[in-house]
């Protein structure tokens, strides 16, 4: 996950949204970074002269254009254009009745991409709960990689129906997070979870949850069929 965050920062730097040093400093202060990750962050700071004073020196000679990173070549997703669109993007119908969540969305709506990235990494729980649903995958991944993230937040994210499948995929691939049964159960029952992730987790459901999944019309048919293979019918196992 930390490797993904480093790539997120590199991508945003190429898009000229990382001239502010606060986001990079937030990553550099993370004590769990490996030596290789710290090296890459130092190279990023030197390459883009992040935090350096004055304009960068002119290049000695032109060099061939490097092959763009796939994420860097991909345009950023357009942010909601109005406050009404922001509320519809970030909040479910039920959440739009909660004043605290509305206030948080209104605050985030006024942020630019760099400010959202910083809030995702260093902000509070309420901000992460909104920004993890941001249409910009860089922002959403930053929220998922915040050093302040807690296990209850991961449980809540895994159950969200208005979150990107990429975020659910990242949660499903994380060994520590999927040690929690509630995370596993939420992912299997969440219709937005990629089928490949759900299929690998369905066998870990309790008998009660497994049976519920077999009749849950919100779950993809492939997952319902997979769950049925693990459900014992009454009297099964006693027949001769």
* pLDDT per residue of the chain (240 residues) written in tens, 0 to 9: 656 565 655 555 454 444 455 666 767 777 666 676 677 667 666 655 566 554 555 555 554 444 444 333 334 456 778 889 899 889 988 999 999 999 999 999 999 999 999 999 999 999 999 999 999 999 999 999 999 999 999 999 999 999 999 999 999 999 999 999 999 999 999 999 999 999 999 999 999 999 999 999 999 999 999 999 988 755 555 443
pLDDT at residue 28, as a whole number: 72
Position 18 scores a pLDDT of 46
pTM: 0.67
Contact 161, 25 (CB under 8 A): no
8 A C-beta contact, residue 213 and residue 224: yes
pLDDT at residue 180, rounded to an integer? 97
Residue 199 and residue 222 in contact, taking contact as beta carbons nearer than 8 Å: yes
Tokens of 32: 């769990």
Structure token digits, residue 223: 């997952």
Contacts (Cβ under 8 Å, ≥6 apart) of 82:
none
What pLDDT, on the 0 to 100 scale, is given for residue 49?
58
Residue-level pLDDT at 240: 39
Confidence (pLDDT) at 42: 73
Cα–Cα distance, 32 to 123 (Å, whole number): 19
* Residue 170 contacts residue 143 (beta carbons within 8 Å): no
State the Cα–Cα distance between residues 27 and 40, nearest whole angstrom.
11
At residue 35, the pLDDT reads 72
Per-residue confidence (pLDDT) for residue 22, from 0 to 100: 61
| Cβ–Cβ < 8 Å for 11, 71 | yes
């Amino acid at each position: 996950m930390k490797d993904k965050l480093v790539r997120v920062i590199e991508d945003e730097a190429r898009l000229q949204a990382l001239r502010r040093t606060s986001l990079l400093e937030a990553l550099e202060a993370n004590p769990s970074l490996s030596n290789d990750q710290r090296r890459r962050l130092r190279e990023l700071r030197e390459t883009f002269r992040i935090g350096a004073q004055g304009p960068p020196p002119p290049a000695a000679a032109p060099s061939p254009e490097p092959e763009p990173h796939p994420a860097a070549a991909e345009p950023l997703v357009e942010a909601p254009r109005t406050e009404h669109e922001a509320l519809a993007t970030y909040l479910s119908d039920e959440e739009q009745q909660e004043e605290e969540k509305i206030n948080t969305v209104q605050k985030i709506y006024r942020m630019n991409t760099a400010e959202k990235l910083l809030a995702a990494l260093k902000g509070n729980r309420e901000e992460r709960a909104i920004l993890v649903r941001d249409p910009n995958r860089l922002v959403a991944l930053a929220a998922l990689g915040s050093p302040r993230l807690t296990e209850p937040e991961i449980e809540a994210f895994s159950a969200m129906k208005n979150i990107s499948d990429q975020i659910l995929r990242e949660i499903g691939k994380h060994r520590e997070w999927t040690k929690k049964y509630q995370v596993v159960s939420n992912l299997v029952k969440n219709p937005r979870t990629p089928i490949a992730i759900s299929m690998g987790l369905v066998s870990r459901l309790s008998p009660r949850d497994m049976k519920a999944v077999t009749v849950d019309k919100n779950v993809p048919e492939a997952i319902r069929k997979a769950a049925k293979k693990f459900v014992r019918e009454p009297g099964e196992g006693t027949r001769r």
